[in-house]
Structure 1
Amino acid sequence: MDPERVIYPLMKYVLLGPAMRVAFLPHVSGLENVPRTGPVILAANHLAFLDSFVVPLMVPRRVRFLGKHEYFTGTGVRGRATATFFLGVGAIAVDRSGGRAALDALDTSARVLEEGGVFAIHPEGTRSPDGRLYRGRTGVARLAMRTGAPVVPMAIAGTDRVQPRGRAVPRPGRIALTIGAPMDFRGRDEGTPRGRAAREVTDEIMEAIRKLSGQEYVDAYAPRPDDPS
């Protein structure tokens, strides 16, 4: 038996899911916009580390997302516990180092969708440093055009208050998840250079997220934590 098929529902329905509902009293609206079957990409803004668990635990389908390879390779009791935790919330290990990192991540994500699964992604690529919504990276658009999967925009709110930067353990507080209507981008790269189509599609997805979240938009990439700028 696949151990993940045991760990995932245990974490979602018995351990983390109920604990999250008690600690954060989440308000979720628009769940009817998530297709019940078939491949779908969930694209959400990114305010805190907690976001990666909010979406999988609040959406009533098995949701997968990419996780650092290091989360799964630790040794000792702590390493095994970390690997079990991330496996249990739907993370897929991906090595983000090296020249093929982006392609490997795209291939891994595409496999989830080609098997009819649900894949979650934060198009900003990193957490917002100031609560504003930053320019999306085009991986989400390339994935949508490659697989034909619809993109469901989502807006997370409140996670930056319960888990501000530098805080490892979230504190109790209210969070919200607002889910928008599915967006279909099949064929958008036909007759259009793929790079330009990817940029246009990504911008449309980010505009949908902005309308749901009400965040101020910044037409620049969010600085990564190790970016001195």
Structure 2
Amino acid sequence: MGETGTSRAAFGVLAGILRPVMNLLMSKQWTDAQKLPRDSGFILCPNHVTEIDPVVVGHFLYNNKVMPHFLAKASLFKVPVLGGALRATGQIPVERTTAGANRSLEAAQQAIADGGGVIVYPEGTLTRDPGMWPMKGRTGAARLALQTGAPVVPMAHWGAHEVFPRYARRLYLFPRKTSRVIVGDPVDLSDFRDRPVTRDTLNEATDRILDAVTALLAELRGEQPPAERWDPAAKRQKRTGRDFDAAEEDNA
């Protein structure tokens, strides 16, 4: 079973609307797109700095002839218009119940089997790191990789936050910004494949994925990342919501 004609048509309509807008907002410096697997589906793991990141990632994949499938909160599928677009383009709802989680896994496995790119943000949400480096991650990407055997492709991007800063309320259109994207080689998780899928295994695999993403972002930015990855729990921050650091956001 491949991508349905309906999902491809829906994505074509959506791309026809969003691509000209993104091209107007941002110039493109896209590097190493040839590293995207062409003979199989895969899991793409990007960094996450602002709410428009999925549009940047989807634009990049679609331009490179890969159908993007995002894991999205189930509540978004109930939003008028947005929910219809998510369903029509074959995006994957993520629910908190065990049954819902199993359905999400099955849908992700099917998307990978169909040769698509399943995008999983290893941080789970927008980074809380003050310098916008990848923070301590969630284990979803690692779990999916170990359960499916699909290659995990790290990706970093930089520039979208200048158009729409983290938790901003408006776009910053001028001067025109640049979308910079780089793709890395698949992360080698082979030494985890025969191990029990325990919390320690998943945490180690997640750290390896985030190390690869961070290294790519350091290359894009031409800067050294922090020696220690930011941990919201250790900083007594909420992992979700715009009020995690009100003082910082008031100054954004």
Range class of TM-score, shorter chain: 0.7 to 0.9
- The answer to whether the 8 Å contact 2:45/2:122 transfers is yes
Q: 1:179-215 CA distances to partner (integer Å, 9 max, x unpaired)? A: 1112242462414553322211111111111111024
Q: State the match for 2:47 in structure 1.
A: 45
TM-score (normalised: structure 2): 0.77
Asked if 1:220 is matched to 2:231, the reply is yes
- The answer to whether the 8 Å contact 2:133/2:214 transfers is no
Describe the shift of the 1:219–1:11 C-alpha distance in structure 2 as closer, same or farther (beyond 3 A): same
Q: Where do 1:88-99 residues align within 5 Å?
A: 91-94=91-94, 96-98=95-97
Q: 1:72-115 CA distances to partner (integer Å, 9 max, x unpaired)? A: 323xxxx1x32344356653233x34455554443432332233
- The answer to whether the 8 Å contact 2:43/2:120 transfers is yes
Gaps of 5+ in 1: none
TM-score (normalised: structure 1): 0.84
Q: Kindly state the Cα deviation for residue 161 of structure 1 after the two structures are TM-superposed.
A: 1.8
Whole-angstrom CA distance in 1 between matches of 2:244 and 2:124? 17
Q: Where do 1:77-226 residues align within 5 Å?
A: 79=80, 81-87=81-87, 91-94=91-94, 96-98=95-97, 102-129=101-128, 130=130, 131-172=132-173, 173-186=177-190, 188-192=192-196, 194-214=198-218, 215-216=225-226, 218-221=229-232, 223-225=239-241
- The answer to whether the 8 Å contact 1:56/1:63 transfers is yes
Q: State the match for 1:10 in structure 2.
A: 13
Whole-angstrom CA distance in 1 between matches of 2:142 and 2:23? 32
- The answer to whether the 8 Å contact 2:6/2:88 transfers is no
- The answer to whether the 8 Å contact 1:114/1:147 transfers is no
Whole-angstrom CA distance in 2 between matches of 1:102 and 1:31? 31
Gaps of 5+ in 2: 219-224, 233-237, 246-252
RMSD: 2.6
Asked if 1:63 is matched to 2:68, the reply is yes
Q: State the match for 2:249 in structure 1.
A: none
Determine what percentage of the aligned residue pairs are the same residue. 27
- Pairs aligned (count): 222
SS of aligned partner of 1:190: coil
Whole-angstrom CA distance in 1 between matches of 2:88 and 2:29? 23
